[in-house]
Structure 1
């Protein structure tokens, strides 16, 4: 919408300075249209650079139970990790989503086609005194403050992701966290 307003105010500015013969009317309409053009240009620039008209929104997913990546009949549960980079504390995590899953699957594998999402997303784990292994995701993104700002500045349907963090919490007592390179190669696990 702001782009349409910029076009309208530009045409108004040109028209008022070039087409109006009466000097008093030309000055009043000319300066008003320049002021409106300036305000809309500054507000568009502020929205693009400083997120004017937006606010941060934090959402937490509900905790979901996860299941072992190891054999289902094993008394010891297993979480397999593969660090992305070195000393990043950002991991690809391998576990089952349900007890009925035949094979464990890799989660939080980076999508190299979406580099902005890759940089802003993290996944990690922690050991704690809990009964079940769970995962919870925290997502922070920019959203519009109200309907007017949304109408003025929204160009596409996407919201801008600031940060996404997934934390897998596993019990200290009956879970083992094992790096991917220590897994037997006969398991056919691939990331």
Structure 2
């Protein structure tokens, strides 16, 4: 609408300035159309540079997210640094276990926060702020130009305590370490058996009834030792930023 008005003011100014003879009426029209031209240009400039007629509106969206880890038994939230300084990062996850992984918006105006909760599922809460027109009049006046323009976003990724948070590089390192654990040397096998035996003794001490069921006892001991090895592997890669 503002462009149509500007066009009419320019045409009116041209016609009154060129086509009319000198008179009080001509002078008055030149002033009116001149003010219309200047006012229109001023409003357009204010809208472009200062978002005149607009307000910031924030919307909140929450969704369940899933790990992007190929190993469902070891869920993790992946992180990838953005830029050479490494001060900003995007987080990689899935919105559907069967679909490809996605990541948070790569923008300096986006802030991400990761929190661990006692929940069994992970979620992403996004608060997104955009420029919107105050009302229908301003929207029509500026033909809705710039409506929905992104301002900022704050993401909170709430993940279960069982999840790990690793960079993509650390995840690759962890994968290599875990593959190596699947093919232990004779010395490592002996050390592992010793750890399982010690863990079994701990379990019996905590629950003497387990001594009567050696199969269950050894399974629990082996699982506990395996978890400790994974935790140690994660701690090792986390030390390498």
Q: How far, CA to CA, are the matches of 1:4 and 1:45 in structure 2?
A: 16
Counting matched residue pairs gives 172
Shift, 1:46, TM fit: 0.7
> What's the TM-score, normalizing by structure 2?
0.62
Q: How far, CA to CA, are the matches of 2:153 and 2:75 in structure 1?
A: 27
Indicate how the Cα distance of structure 1 residues 98 and 133 shifts in structure 2: closer, same or farther if over 3 A, else same.
Answer: same
2:140 is matched with which residue? 151
Shift, 1:155, TM fit: 5.9
Q: Which runs of 5+ in 2 are unaligned?
A: 176-241
> Relative to structure 2, which stretch is displaced further, 22-31 or 41-50?
22-31
Residues 1:134 and 2:130 aligned together: no
SS of the equivalent of 1:90 reads: strand
Shift, 1:158, TM fit: 5.5
Choose which of 159, 181, 186 in structure 1 pairs with 2:169: 181
CA contact (8 A) 1:60 1:139 kept: yes
SS of the equivalent of 1:6 reads: helix
1:28 is matched with which residue? 28
Indicate how the Cα distance of structure 1 residues 43 and 109 shifts in structure 2: closer, same or farther if over 3 A, else same.
Answer: closer
Indicate how the Cα distance of structure 1 residues 167 and 18 shifts in structure 2: closer, same or farther if over 3 A, else same.
Answer: same
Residues 1:160 and 2:149 aligned together: yes
CA contact (8 A) 1:94 1:104 kept: no
SS of the equivalent of 1:183 reads: helix
Q: Would you tell me which structure has more strand in proportion to its own residues?
A: 1
Matches within 5 A, 1:1-191: 1-21=1-21, 23-61=23-61, 63-70=62-69, 71-72=71-72, 74=73, 76-85=74-83, 86-91=85-90, 93-99=91-97, 101=98, 105-108=101-104, 110=106, 118-120=107-109, 122=110, 124-131=112-119, 132-154=121-143, 156=145, 159-171=148-160, 173-184=161-172
Shift, 1:184, TM fit: 2.9
> What's the TM-score, normalizing by structure 1?
0.77
Greater relative CO (CA pairs within 8 A, separation 6+): 1
Q: How far, CA to CA, are the matches of 2:47 and 2:163 in structure 1?
A: 47
Indicate how the Cα distance of structure 1 residues 105 and 10 shifts in structure 2: closer, same or farther if over 3 A, else same.
Answer: same
Shift, 1:18, TM fit: 2.4
Q: How far, CA to CA, are the matches of 1:155 and 1:104 in structure 2?
A: 34
Residues 22-42 of structure 1 deviation map (CA, whole Å, 9 limit, x = unaligned): 612112212111111121111
Larger radius of gyration: 2
